[in-house]
Amino acid sequence: MIRLRKAHFLPQRQTGQIQYFITITKTHGKIIHMAQFLRFRSLYQERVWGGRVLETALGRKLPAAPAGGAPKPIGESWEIVDRPEAQSVVRGGKYDGMTLRALIEKHAADVMGPRWEASRTFPILVKWLDCRERLSLQVHPPASVAPELKGEPKTENWYIADCAPGSHLIVGLRRGVTREEFEHAIKNLTLENCVHRFPVKRGDSILVHSGQIHAIDGGNLILEIQQNSDTTYRVYDWGRTGLDGKPRQMHVAESLKSIKWDDFEPAPMRAERKAAVIADAREFRIRRVPLAKGEKLPVAAGGQPRILSVVEGRVRETLSSSGGADAVLTRGDNVVLPYAGGFAFEALEDSLLLVTENFC
């Protein structure tokens, strides 16, 4: 028998197109096959800094306003999540209605690969962020201090899917800022003078490691692909109150223990219309894959599970058992490509995909 074992994505330029070469290895035994990519129902989260841009930018139907009230500010859409407090639920196909946790427990080898223990959680969390207003200045604990603080480390990547003119991000410290200066600025409410703020445009991205101080300015629509964690320490919230009208909880002591004090002015990955690795961390890797109309992205079975995110355009899956409208992915869609499935995505128009891998 033959099983597709690994896809080597080696982009080569020929007449302006990208070609991908796939290695096929003979193996013994029965072919495993999970022919369906996994699409999930979105989990919308109310946030004080959120808005309603997911409706207009991605065509989503957000929770309606309460009777006689204003629409709720939706700051996050959890697209792929496997946590005790939140579970993605499969939408469509053979596994419709199953949680991601239940699916892995029952089909761990097919979804994640033969060495994956069924009790292990899916290691990546994917979110859309509608940042109508600036987020708090915050940090996630590095692995070296997370156990002491009873938290989880979180490395994350921000892809700017859209932004208002003049939008900025904050990541890292201004060059030369010391811990003593930072602590003094907390007391004087002048922390903005200590952090690295830079302009961004559509298509830019930046990898934010655990321990890097950061915030997202208002006006950004961001696809966040992150380590499966929900630990955030807020050091400053710009004098804002929460949805209940009270000041939000700060975590100054935890933040000061978590911040990397030698992390000065990291640079973003600027937008380009070409294939590239835009994030390469111990926890995951993200590749940017542009496709012209009619071009295909093949993904062989048996290599590793991946996440496919459509950030521009539309693609149709042409190889698996999916059919009709269910085979089309549009801007905003994020799906899991199981280890055991072989797929080919054809661009219905000029499109831009992100492929997240190396998380197993």
The residues that are catalytic are: 234
Helices (H), the chain: 53-58, 100-112, 146-149, 179-188, 252-258
* Tally: H helices and E strands in the chain: 5, 25
Per-residue tokens: 343: 């797929």
Q: How far is CA 67 from CA 70, 72, 102, 243, 262, in A?
A: 8, 12, 36, 18, 51
Provide CB contacts within 8 A for 13, sequence distance 6+. none
Angle at 301 between CA 295 and CA 307, to 5 degrees: 65
Contact (CB, 8 A) for 172 and 265: yes
Question: For the chain, how long is the longest CA-to-CA vector?
Answer: 69
26, with CB counted inside 10 A (0-12, 13-18, 19+), is exposed
State how far the Cα of 35 lies from the Cα of 37, in Å rounded to an integer. Answer: 7
Q: How far is CA 270 from CA 181, 205, 278, 313, in A?
A: 31, 7, 9, 20
* Percent of the chain as helix, strand, coil, to the nearest 5: 15, 40, 45
- Tokens 């239940």 -> residue: 102
State how far the Cα of 287 lies from the Cα of 267, in Å rounded to an integer. Answer: 18
Contact (CB, 8 A) for 261 and 169: no
